[in-house]
Chains A and B, each alone.
Chain A
Amino acid sequence: MTETVGARGFAQHATLRALFFGFLKVSLLGFGGGLVWARRIVVERQRWVDDREFAEILTLCQIMPGPNIVGITTCVGSRLRGPVGAVAAVAGFILIPWTIGLSLGSLYLRFGHLAVLQNILGGLSAAAAGLMIATGVRLLIPYRSRRTALLFAALAFTGMAFVKLPLLVVLLGLAPLSIAVAGVASARAS
């Protein structure tokens, strides 16, 4: 057991360079939803955190104000290398992609009304939506044996997708119930 392995077993040592380029990749590939790539690179490729911890970080980022993926970037960077890690990860996420995006966007503002372009974008977004759904399903796998967890995931989905409630309303409405049920379950287990 070396000191690079954290108390929670899964944490790996990451160089600042790896953090910078890891999140650069998340940002550049993150068409239509950076979350797909954040999970793929942070959990599957680099194994910086596991699915459970990734879901926890995502939860924290959804509660806090701001762009969620930037939050994940900040938290994972900070988790692995402290403040310097957070800066390296956020710099990787923003610097180069922002420059590219602003240049491409200025071009698109001029030439973006071509029909072919619109069709390609339509196909891309349909596929991107599927990837997003699959990422959510993957995150749910560690909870598959807890029936109440599945129930609350389904309720949150319904409130957002079908009833079309604002995100904050869904979270604030369901969170106390879900936490209470989790509390009862762990009290019973111990």
Chain B
Amino acid sequence: MKSPSASLALAAHLALLSSISFGGFPSVLPGVHSLVTANGWATDREFADFFAISQVVPGPNMILMMSFVGLKVGGLPGAIASALATFGPPCLMYYTSYRLWDRFRDRPWQQTVRRGLAPLTIGLVIAGGYVMARTADVGWRSAMVTAAAVGLMLGTRLSPLWILMSGGVLGGLGLLAPGE
């Protein structure tokens, strides 16, 4: 089912969805899911697989996930179209809004807005880590790995790469499987 018109339709929808993905692309994932399954472009199972893979491979994960859908629908051209539709429109918006934001940088109102918003953003980042830990957790051993990673990252100048790899090795040896 590799037709150029399906690729174009997918890209057009993705461009629209990415332009309204306030709060990050995952916020429109449910929309993408219904679009893709309603058109028969991918099954539920395939959609879940695309998500899992995009989380696992390095690189821009949401862009990759949409590219897997595009690949399925229209081969490599479909994948490229989907990627462009996912990051193109937001990039332009980011650029424009940053320029505007920067122009008024020294105004007192903007400093106040910044000082008010930054703590919220940071709280959300920590929450993101917490939620991820809960989904990754299969038991107390995984929680220990997460806690150790926090400690090592804050307390040492060790590269995060070593911390990640240690987690991967412990998992690969089967030491993190839920016991008891």
Interface residues of A (CB under 8 A from B): 27-37, 40, 52, 55-71, 74-75, 78-79, 83, 86, 90, 93-94, 97-98, 100-102, 104-106, 108-109, 112, 116, 119-140, 143, 146, 148-157, 159-161, 166-168, 170-171, 174-175, 178-183, 185-186
Q: Which of B63, B130, B161, B177 contacts A133 (CB 8 A)?
A: B130
Q: Please state if A131 and B172 are interface contacts (CB–CB under 8 Å).
A: no
Q: How many A-B residue pairs have CB under 8 A?
A: 363
Q: Please state if A98 and B112 are interface contacts (CB–CB under 8 Å).
A: no
Residues on B with C-beta less than 8 A from A139 are 122, 125
What string of 1s and 0s marks CB contacts (under 8 Å) between B51-90 and chain A?
Answer: 0111111111011100110010000000100010011011
Task: List the 9 closest pairs (A to B, CB-CB), nearest first.
Answer: A123-B171, A66-B90, A130-B149, A127-B167, A156-B123, A132-B129, A179-B116, A97-B59, A134-B153
Residue B8, interface by CB 8 Å: no
Residues on A with C-beta less than 8 A from B121 are 55, 58-59, 62, 156
Chain B residue at minimum C-beta to C-beta distance from A113: B49
Instruction: For the complex, give the distance between the alpha carbons of A37 and B159 in Å.
Output: 10
Q: Which of A35, A106, A161 contacts B131 (CB 8 A)?
A: A161
Q: Please state if B116 and A183 are interface contacts (CB–CB under 8 Å).
A: yes
Q: Please state if A94 and B60 are interface contacts (CB–CB under 8 Å).
A: yes
Q: B33: shortest Cβ distance to chain A, in Å?
A: 16
Q: Please state if A29 and B58 are interface contacts (CB–CB under 8 Å).
A: yes
Known A65-B93, A161-B131; contact A168-B149, beta-carbon cutoff 8 A: no
Q: Please state if B120 and A129 are interface contacts (CB–CB under 8 Å).
A: no
Q: Please state if B94 and A66 are interface contacts (CB–CB under 8 Å).
A: yes
Supply 8 further A-B pairs (C-beta < 8 A) apart from A97-B60, A100-B59, A156-B127.
Answer: A70-B90, A101-B58, A122-B176, A123-B167, A129-B129, A130-B150, A157-B130, A185-B115
Q: Which of B59, B120, B172 contacts A171 (CB 8 A)?
A: B120
Known A98-B59, A127-B168, A157-B126; contact A67-B120, beta-carbon cutoff 8 A: no
Q: Which of A105, A167, A178 contacts B24 (CB 8 A)?
A: A167
Q: Please state if A86 and B95 are interface contacts (CB–CB under 8 Å).
A: yes
Residues 138-159 (chain B) with a chain A CB within 8 angstroms: 138, 142-143, 145-150, 152-154
Instruction: For the complex, give the distance between the alpha carbons of A105 and B63 in Å.
Output: 12
Q: B105: shortest Cβ distance to chain A, in Å?
A: 8
Q: List 10 A–B pairs whose Cβ atoms lie within 8 Å, in order of A's numbering.
A: A59-B120, A63-B117, A66-B21, A71-B91, A74-B91, A126-B167, A126-B171, A136-B123, A156-B121, A186-B115
Q: Please state if A123 and B98 are interface contacts (CB–CB under 8 Å).
A: no
Chain A residue at minimum C-beta to C-beta distance from B62: A67
